[in-house]
């Protein structure tokens, strides 16, 4: 195998060095003037780079004058919830989306406001109590007001509910998008972005779901554990280096030891963050790529062939050499059959 590889390399060097009369003949004009956009794509600029987002395309799709890509629809829905339902003509879902988000968010804000009021009242009581006892020398005769922690919990969960309604509107818009391609790569990627593993389920690759979920669960577990230990040793380091001997004297380890553990767990926490993000992005990319490759069939009949070739130039080359003055070039042609 190595001997054949050496022969190929030697043949390439030999042909390009001694037989190529004009190396510019190997650059066909088609490679530099080819337009890779769709013939009917009016949103592209005449080269291989198309616009990522077009407001004209987006608002034209909302008015049902043209179709829009699923990525454009999703980006608009992220900024303005419900626009995907307008494009999909599911108008009856709009009151549910805005009513749900508004109700959960408004009620949650009310309960959090109640918690903040009770917290401020308690802080004022502590300030008054401290000043009174310092001035009079006996205990403050009033009881402390209660902090409404139940309102805080209720308000937090209601805001989570508003977030779930928002998330559900995005997922519904992606699921109801009409596409002629099965599976649709954009839909698969957005499924995995909204819910890890859902794109793999959409592609019919169920065996990948426990793999990605396991990787994300492990990296998240180490992230939480390392962050907890980092906060713990950060607190211990602060106490060990406190100038008050009543505080620093009760710490069982030295400040240097606490600092070493703090830095170690902070570094491990950062590694865990990188791993979690990497696994998340990997499963999104995996869903998109394998949706693209769904119809790509590869059998055992694959051959690769090298052979000498005489490359004749067209009318114009990459170096703008006229066809009348151009000469042929001898090169090596690579053929792949599958």
Q: Kindly report which listed range (39-43, 59-63, 73-77, 283-287) carries the lowest average pLDDT score.
A: 39-43
Give CA–CA dist 33/41, Å, rounded. Answer: 17
Higher-confidence position of 242 and 116:
116
Please determine, for residue 216, whether its predicted confidence score (pLDDT) is greater than 90. yes
Give CA–CA dist 296/301, Å, rounded. Answer: 14
Half-sphere exposure of 33 (CA within 13 A, CB side): 10
Mean pLDDT of 288-307: 75
Give CA–CA dist 284/135, Å, rounded. Answer: 65
What integer pLDDT is reported at residue 122 of this predicted model?
A: 94
How would you class 199 by CB atoms within 10 Å of its CB: exposed for 0-12, middle for 13-18, buried for 19 or more? buried
Mean pLDDT of 55-71: 86
Please determine, for residue 333, whether its predicted confidence score (pLDDT) is greater than 90. no
Residues forming a β-bridge with 331: 309
Three-state SS at 29: coil
Q: How far is CA 144 from CA 12, 128, 135, in A?
A: 88, 11, 19
Cis peptide, bond prior to residue 183, ω within 30 of zero: yes
Summarised one tens digit per residue, pLDDT across range 64-84 is 888 888 988 999 999 999 999
Greatest extent of the chain over all pairs of C-alpha atoms, in Å? 109
Q: How far is CA 327 from CA 13, 257, 308, 314, in A?
A: 19, 75, 17, 10
How would you class 301 by CB atoms within 10 Å of its CB: exposed for 0-12, middle for 13-18, buried for 19 or more? exposed
Question: Dihedral of the CA atoms 71, 77, 79, 82 (nearest 10)?
Answer: 170
Residues forming a β-bridge with 336: 304
What are the start-end ranges of the E strands in the chain? Answer: 303-311, 329-337
Q: What is the mean pLDDT of the chain?
A: 81
Mean pLDDT of 54-71: 85
What integer pLDDT is reported at residue 30 of this predicted model?
A: 43
Higher-confidence position of 264 and 133:
264
- Contacts for 72 with CB less than 8 Å, ≥ 6 apart: 53, 54, 57, 58, 61
Q: Kindly report which listed range (15-24, 70-79, 177-186, 294-303) carries the lowest average pLDDT score.
A: 15-24
Residues forming a β-bridge with 309: 331
Higher-confidence position of 87 and 246:
87
Distance of CA 243 to the CA centre of its chain: 46
Give the model's confidence band at 158: pLDDT under 50 very low, under 70 low, under 90 confident, else very high.
very high
- Contacts for 22 with CB less than 8 Å, ≥ 6 apart: 313, 321, 326, 327, 328, 329
Higher-confidence position of 5 and 300:
300
329-337 and 303-311 strand pairing: antiparallel
């Amino acid at each position: 195998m190595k001997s054949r590889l050496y022969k190929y390399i030697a043949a390439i060097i030999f042909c390009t060095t001694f037989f190529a009369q004009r190396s510019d003949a190997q650059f066909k004009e088609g490679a530099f003037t080819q337009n890779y956009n769709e013939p009917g794509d009016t949103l592209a600029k005449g080269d291989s780079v198309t616009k990522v987002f077009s407001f004209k395309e987006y608002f034209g799709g909302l008015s049902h004058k043209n179709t829009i890509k699923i990525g454009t629809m999703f980006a608009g829905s992220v900024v303005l919830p419900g626009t995907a339902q307008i494009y999909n003509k599911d108008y009856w879902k709009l009151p549910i989306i805005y009513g749900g988000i508004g109700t959960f968010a408004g009620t949650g804000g009310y309960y959090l406001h109640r918690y903040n009021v009770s917290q401020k009242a308690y802080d004022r009581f502590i300030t008054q109590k401290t000043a009174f006892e310092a001035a009079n020398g006996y205990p403050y005769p009033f009881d402390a007001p209660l902090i409404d922690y139940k309102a805080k919990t209720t308000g937090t969960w209601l805001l989570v509910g508003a977030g779930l309604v928002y998330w559900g509107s995005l997922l519904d818009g992606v699921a109801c998008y009409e596409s002629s391609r099965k599976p649709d790569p954009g839909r698969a990627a957005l499924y995995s972005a909204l819910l890890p593993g859902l794109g793999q389920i959409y592609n019919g690759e169920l065996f990948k779901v426990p793999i990605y979920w396991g990787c994300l669960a492990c990296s998240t577990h180490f992230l939480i554990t390392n962050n907890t230990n980092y906060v713990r040793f950060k607190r211990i380091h602060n106490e060990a280096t406190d100038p008050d001997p009543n505080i620093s004297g009760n710490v069982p380890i030295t400040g240097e030891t606490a600092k070493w553990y703090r830095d170690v767990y902070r570094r491990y926490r950062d590694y865990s963050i990188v791993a979690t993000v990497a696994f998340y992005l990997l499963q999104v990319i995996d869903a998109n790529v394998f949706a693209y490759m769904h119809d790509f069939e590869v059998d055992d009949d694959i051959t690769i062939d090298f052979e000498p070739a005489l490359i004749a130039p067209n009318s114009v080359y990459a170096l703008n050499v006229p066809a009348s003055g151009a000469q042929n070039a001898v090169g090596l042609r690579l053929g792949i059959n599958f």
